[in-house]
Amino acid sequence: MIREETERPEQVKIVFFPYGKREWFSKGRVSIFSAAKALGIDLSSLCGGKGTCGKCKVKIGEGIKGLNPLTEQELKHITQEEIEAGYRLACQAIPTTSISVYVPERSRVGKQRLQTEGLEVPVKQLNPFVRKYFVKLPKPTLHDFRSDEDRLLDTLNAGYGLSTGLEIDFELGVDLASRLRDADWAVTAVIWKNRIIEVEPGNTSGRCFGFAVDVGTTKLAGFLMDLNTGKVVAVASRMNPQISLGEEVMSRITHQIMEGHKGVKELQGAVVSGINEMIEECCEKVGVEKNEIYELCFVGNTAMQLCFLGIYGRYVAFTPYPPVLRRGVNIWASSIGLTSHPRANVYHAPVIGGFVGGDNVAVILATRMLESDEICMALDIGTNTEIDLGNKNLVMVDSCASGPAFEGMQIKHGMRAATGAIERVSIDLETLEINYRTIEDKPPVGLCGSALVDVPAELLKAGLIDLTGKFVPEMAEKTNRLRRNPKGIWEFVLVLQPETATDTDIVVTQGDIRELQKAKAAMRTGAEILMKRLGEERKETVTEDDISKLFMAGAFGNYIDPENARTIGMYPELPYERVEFVGNIAGTGSRMCLISKEEREYAEKIATTVKYHELAADKDFQKEYIDALYFPHKNLDKYPDTADLLRRLGRIR
Amino acid sequence: MNKKAQIFERLRKAVIVGDTEEAVKAAQDVIDTGIEPWKAITEGLAKGMEVVGEKFEKKEYFIPEMLVSADAMYAALNLLLPLLETDETVEKQKVVLGVVEGDIHDIGKNIVKAMLTAGGYEVIDLGVDVPTEKFVETASSDEVKVIAMSTMMTPTLLSLKDVEEQLEKKGLKGKVKTIVGGGTVTEDWRSKIGSDAYGKDAADAVGKVKLLLNQIKAAVELAKKKREKRS
């Protein structure tokens, strides 16, 4: 509820994307480069900010008019095209108004650690929609004057028994004649469903590729797959370039609403450009031509589906949040500017509701929950966290706005999992000293998601915060790490400045703890209410004991400490051995849909069978949410093991 | 400390720590000892909520603490309000409060409601997902001077704009003043849509509402003086 004031005299606010880091700086005195350095953003530079190396190119979003004119040095490094797109050299650009800055991939030093890997799940049957058939056609003669089309169809029928409803795509038909003759009548027909979309010269049936994508709100994961073997041949990931148009789903849709058609196109163009980059990267890695990709499969939440397919989403954003298209969608790659084969089919998995999309369909598909005898729970953690619960009889799902706190946003020294991010933290219960580890062992810049799970858990165990999440002022007598900032707000110092890569201490504030509490409470409430409502449907209570398996999926799933996550009450108290980290399981589901007709049909079935529960409208939401704000929970009976631990540590009686 | 001050202090403390039982007991003592209920509200309950608001601003109090404090306050208020003299209730200013159309998040709104109530206003709570027409309709009533609306989501920021536009259209803009707030609302957005005030949090909202009402009062008096001069 408490927000920073939006304007300050003599200061400008600089926001860096895709990091989501922001700070106030003196107006007209600080270059974007210095600001980035102060915030520990990994902006590359060889010359150290003199404007001679041209490495620190950034793209300006809002506030470009408030910058000084392009300098001579900049004109040497930035092309006209880039100028029009809003590029500047960070070291030369000095803002006099608040500004948003996007740091493109090429201008970053450290690699973001984006989790793309997900559990491998065998498909029911390797059965892609795209097939390749090599045929040798008899040449036309005076006695055999069939059309080129019939000649090809007849031969395919004779050789492979492909007769039913096969047709040649008209666009291919336009230059079919020369293709056949240039290849001396020996060609490989590429068939998607019952449509011949390409003929390649010679026998290329051994090479058949597809591309599966998980379109996340913050990150994209792409998998180049060999459709003959069903194996992944290359992986790529990117930040979703749409981030500069809005940090989370709601602001993306707002962008559509505010900008209308232009905004819809901008969002679509942004995500497509990111996907094209991944296609290019994967193809280069393994020597595949982009034209050899004949099908693409996408999963994404409902807002991402809208933004990707270019659907106007205004009404999805308002209660009761109805999706526009629920079913799976098939369109041509060229129609939205994807650089695979132009006639490659693009399949977007069906969505379940306004807040539960194709990515969740993929989660249910890949966890096989809807086929399980035992009750399973899946938690797909992200800016929106989806929770699934059930078994073969019924799976229910809800979605909660857990927010981006665990992705490092809205946290004073939060950051994404990139070089220099603190990823593990522990506090010595005796000395209250800190041990930490950073990504690639570089000097610490900030805290990423996994550390943001560790911090409240460790503070709690050390007695530095109480069960309500409040810092315990008396502990300031035991350690000077606990202090009040100039505004009188409590904060805990994790790393003192000389050790950090930035020019400040790395701290966690009382406000940060509150943000994390809200995020974890939202997830926990989603789980609790689903347990209640599933119980009502089944006419028997569903408790922790009934849940045989908890799949933890999502952005930082594999990196978080399951004990600490449980200690803060992020998920119901289940024995650790029932918790399985499955990583980017939505990506797994996307791959399965790409290589198997059966799985794709099953995905369509999931979308219509799973029961969506609207959390915000639930009568118990407010009470459950408030109880879940506590560490680990207001009702400690729900956390007997954790309560026992805290009792032994003397934190509770 | 005299008896009266002691009881006020108990009310204040009960609100700060969120002790509903003690709040009710102290309110009963107010009644039994014949203290003016209005005084007990302003000197006891409201003072307590003030401290709660300060702690919330420093993040030392969080949503649960805010809500238990509000509960304690309401419990005492329910006993004291019916005893107020009629002219005292007439004095009370009415504030319309609601979460705009398309949004159903109500925890924040309830905290604002508690703070406004403690601040001595009569809050007409329209609830959540309130249609634009409903706000406008309520604003047409003579007694309503301030409309407070909020949203937690981004697209529904537009609903705030809708209300402003409708008020303008109906010529109600001068008569009622608006204050906006909530998770996604900013001072920037306030000025864009032409609302009269932005409350960055519950405590801030109470101060701003007071300011708005003073503005209205001043405007009314000025108009009155002008009229008198003319006649």
Which chain B residue is nearest to residue A253, measuring alpha carbons? B155
B223 contact A CB<8A: no
More confident residue, A455 or B1: A455
Answer yes or no: are the C-beta atoms of A599 and A593 closer than 8 Å.
yes
Mean pLDDT of B54-76: 91
pLDDT the model gives residue B90: 47
pLDDT the model gives residue A557: 60
Chain A contact set for B53 (CB, 8 A): none
Q: DSSP 3-state assignment of A418?
A: strand
pLDDT the model gives residue A4: 44
Which chain A residue is nearest to residue B191, measuring alpha carbons? A6
Between the CA of residue A290 and those of A221, A298, B169, what are the distances in Å? 17, 17, 56
More confident residue, A251 or A411: A411
pLDDT the model gives residue B146: 94
Answer yes or no: are the C-beta atoms of B19 and B11 closer than 8 Å.
no
Mean pLDDT of A583-588: 92
Q: Is the pLDDT of residue A113 over 80?
A: no
Å between A254 CA and nearest CA of chain B:
5
**Tens-digit pLDDT profile for residues B129-151:** 999 999 999 888 878 889 999 99
pLDDT the model gives residue A111: 52
Closest CA to A602 of A337, A264, A349, A346: A349
Å between A474 CA and nearest CA of chain B:
14
Chain A contact set for B161 (CB, 8 A): none
Q: What percent of chain B has pLDDT over 90?
A: 50
Interface residues of chain A, partner chain B, Cβ below 8 Å: 1-3, 5-7, 246, 250-251, 253-254, 257, 314, 317-319, 468-471, 487-490, 509-511, 513-514, 517-518, 616-617, 622, 625-626, 629-630, 634
**Tens-digit pLDDT profile for residues A225-242:** 999 999 999 999 888 888
Choose among A318, A489, A634: nearest Cβ to B156.
A318
Closest CA to A26 of A10, A39, A40: A10
More confident residue, B137 or B152: B137
B183 and A1 within 8 Å at the Cβ level: the answer is yes
pLDDT the model gives residue A81: 75
Confidence of residue A327 (pLDDT cuts 50, 70, 90): very high
- Rounded to whole angstroms, the Cα distance separating A97 from A66 reads 5
**Tens-digit pLDDT profile for residues A422-436:** 999 999 988 999 999
- Rounded to whole angstroms, the Cα distance separating A161 from A150 reads 14
Å between A226 CA and nearest CA of chain B:
41
Choose among A3, A317, A514: nearest Cβ to B62.
A514
Q: Is the pLDDT of residue A114 over 70?
A: no
Chain B contact set for A314 (CB, 8 A): 155
Going by the DSSP 8-state scheme, the letter that residue A112 receives in this structure is B
More confident residue, A159 or A384: A159
- In the sheet where A490-495 sits, what is the strand order? A482-484, A490-495, A506-509
- Rounded to whole angstroms, the Cα distance separating B154 from B140 reads 28
> Which residue carries 């109880």 as its tokens?
A627
pLDDT the model gives residue A112: 54
Q: Which of residues 103-132 of B touch A (CB under 8 A)?
A: 103-108, 111, 129
- Rounded to whole angstroms, the Cα distance separating A292 from A190 reads 10
B156 contact A CB<8A: yes
The set of residues, in sequence order, having a beta carbon less than 8 Å from that of A306 and lying 6+ positions away, is A253, A256, A312, A313, A316, A324
Choose among B63, B129, B182: nearest Cβ to A629.
B63
In a mutagenesis test of the A interface, which of B58, B59, B112, B152 is the best target, namely the one with the most A β-carbons within 10 Å? B59
Pick from A276-280, A287-291, A413-417: least confident: A413-417
Going by the DSSP 8-state scheme, the letter that residue A350 receives in this structure is -
Mean pLDDT of B84-109: 78
Confidence of residue A116 (pLDDT cuts 50, 70, 90): low
Q: Is the pLDDT of residue A375 over 80?
A: yes
Domains in chain B, CATH or no CATH each: 3-83 (1.10.1240.10), 94-224 (3.40.50.280)
Confidence of residue A617 (pLDDT cuts 50, 70, 90): confident
Answer yes or no: are the C-beta atoms of B28 and B75 closer than 8 Å.
no
Answer yes or no: are the C-beta atoms of A413 and A447 closer than 8 Å.
yes
Alpha helix (H) residue ranges in A190-260: 249-259
Q: How many C-beta atoms lie closer than 10 Å to residue A309's C-beta?
A: 19
pLDDT the model gives residue A1: 34
Pick from A530-534, B92-96, B195-199: least confident: B92-96
- Over chain A, what is the mean pLDDT? 90
- pTM check: above 0.95: no
pLDDT the model gives residue B123: 92
Chain A contact set for B106 (CB, 8 A): 622
Confidence of residue A3 (pLDDT cuts 50, 70, 90): very low
A487 and B60 within 8 Å at the Cβ level: the answer is no
The set of residues, in sequence order, having a beta carbon less than 8 Å from that of A602 and lying 6+ positions away, is A124, A365
pLDDT the model gives residue A137: 96
A1 and B108 within 8 Å at the Cβ level: the answer is yes
pLDDT the model gives residue A257: 86
A510 and B60 within 8 Å at the Cβ level: the answer is yes
Q: Is the pLDDT of residue A397 over 90?
A: yes
Reported ipTM: 0.76
- Rounded to whole angstroms, the Cα distance separating B21 from B15 reads 10
More confident residue, A556 or A17: A17
Pick from A14-23, A445-454, A589-598, B72-81: least confident: A14-23
Closest CA to A112 of A218, A236, A238: A238
Q: Is the pLDDT of residue A47 over 70?
A: no
In a mutagenesis test of the B interface, which of A1, A255, A399, A470 is the best target, namely the one with the most B β-carbons within 10 Å? A1
Chain B contact set for A634 (CB, 8 A): 64
Chain B contact set for A622 (CB, 8 A): 106-107
Å between B221 CA and nearest CA of chain A:
33
Q: How does DSSP assign A135-182, residue by residue?
A: EEPPPPBTTB---HHHHHHHHHHHHH---TT-EE-HHHHHTHHHHHHH
B104 and A509 within 8 Å at the Cβ level: the answer is no
Confidence of residue A314 (pLDDT cuts 50, 70, 90): confident
Q: Which of A362-376, B46-60, B114-128, B213-227 has the highest mean pLDDT?
A: A362-376
Q: Is the pLDDT of residue A362 over 70?
A: yes
Mean pLDDT of A33-51: 75
Q: What percent of chain A has pLDDT over 70?
A: 95
Which chain A residue is nearest to residue B111, measuring alpha carbons? A1
pLDDT the model gives residue A513: 97
Q: Is the pLDDT of residue A364 over 70?
A: yes
Q: Is the pLDDT of residue A149 over 90?
A: yes
Q: Is the pLDDT of residue A79 over 50?
A: yes
Which chain A residue is nearest to residue B55, measuring alpha carbons? A489
**Cα-trace Rg, chain B:** 19
Choose among A1, A319, A514: nearest Cβ to B102.
A319
Closest CA to B44 of B110, B146, B120: B120
Chain A contact set for B127 (CB, 8 A): none
Pick from A617-631, A637-651, B91-105: least confident: B91-105
Å between A471 CA and nearest CA of chain B:
8
pLDDT the model gives residue A231: 94
Q: Is the pLDDT of residue B115 over 90?
A: no
pLDDT the model gives residue A307: 94
If DSSP states are collapsed to H, E and C, what string results for A138-150? CCCECCECCCHHH
Pick from A19-23, A149-153, B86-90: least confident: B86-90
Give the pair of three-digit tokens for residue A581: 């980290």
Which chain A residue is nearest to residue B104, measuring alpha carbons? A616
- Rounded to whole angstroms, the Cα distance separating A167 from A149 reads 8
Chain A contact set for B58 (CB, 8 A): 487-490, 510
Choose among A319, A489, A490: nearest Cβ to B104.
A319
